[in-house]
């Protein structure tokens, strides 16, 4: 079962690419020109996240190297061990609702700390890939039209985030442990 699912993971990306290309061919869309045009944005996106990434990665590196994070993680360790959650991933569960760039920074830190093929990295990657930053989206979208009373929007978003974290823990332990 797991073998089949991992195979499916491998096929999703090429299938999407093939589908997009064949559809473009059928509609006579200039695929190459479109590709080149779209790819230009890759550079600006990567550059744009640099300052955020530096801020977060410096913070997390300092927290770790100074021993400050050990205090918090030792307190949480019994609960985390019980749920089979690597202690390094606790920070990313907090940042994912606050800032997308921060989450990427924490992911970079976890890779650096535990290695790219570790379970902690995979769990953190799934958490980072499956979330959007609740507070950012709320402030941009409601702020743009001057809504001041958010009613239940934030609460629904945060509850969904919490469900997402638990789903990530269970799905990952099933796939990767």
15 binds another protein (CB under 8 A): no
Which of 1, 3, 117, 177 touches another protein (CB under 8 A)? 117
Q: Which of residues 43-62 bind another protein (CB under 8 A)?
A: 43, 45-47, 49-50, 53-62
Q: DSSP label at 66? A: T
153 near 141, Cβ under 8 Å? no
Distance CA 96, CA 93 (A): 6
Q: Which of residues 151-170 bind another protein (CB under 8 A)?
A: 151-153, 155-157, 159-161, 163-164, 167-168
121 binds another protein (CB under 8 A): yes
Distance CA 169, CA 159 (A): 16
Q: Specify the residue, 44 or 78, whose C-beta has the smaller distance to another protein.
A: 44
Q: DSSP label at 87? A: G
80 binds another protein (CB under 8 A): no
Report residue 49 as tokens.
């996240």
74 binds another protein (CB under 8 A): no
Cβ neighbours of residue 140 closer than 8 Å, sequence gap 6 or more = none
Number of residues in contact with another protein, rule: CB under 8 A?
Answer: 100
Which of 78, 87, 108, 120 touches another protein (CB under 8 A)? 108
Report residue 163 as tokens.
């469900």
65 near 103, Cβ under 8 Å? no
Compute the least distance from the CB of residue 173 to another protein, in Å.
10
107 binds another protein (CB under 8 A): yes
């Amino acid at each position: 079962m797991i073998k089949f699912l991992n195979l499916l993971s491998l096929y999703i990306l090429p299938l999407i690419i093939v589908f997009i290309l064949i559809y473009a061919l059928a509609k006579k869309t200039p695929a190459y020109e479109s590709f080149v045009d779209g790819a230009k944005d890759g550079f600006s996106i990567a550059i744009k996240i640099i300052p955020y990434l530096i801020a977060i990665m410096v913070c997390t590196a300092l927290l770790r190297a100074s021993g400050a994070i050990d205090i918090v993680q030792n307190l949480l360790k019994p609960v985390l061990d019980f749920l089979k959650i690597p202690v390094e991933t606790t920070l990313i569960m907090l940042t994912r609702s606050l800032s997308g760039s921060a989450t990427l920074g924490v992911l970079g830190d976890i890779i650096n700390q535990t290695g790219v093929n570790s379970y902690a990295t995979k769990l953190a990657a799934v958490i980072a890939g499956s979330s959007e930053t609740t507070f950012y989206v709320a402030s941009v979208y409601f702020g743009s039209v001057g809504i001041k009373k958010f009613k239940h929007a934030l609460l629904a978003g945060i509850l969904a985030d919490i469900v997402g974290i638990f789903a990530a823990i269970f799905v990952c332990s099933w796939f990767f442990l």
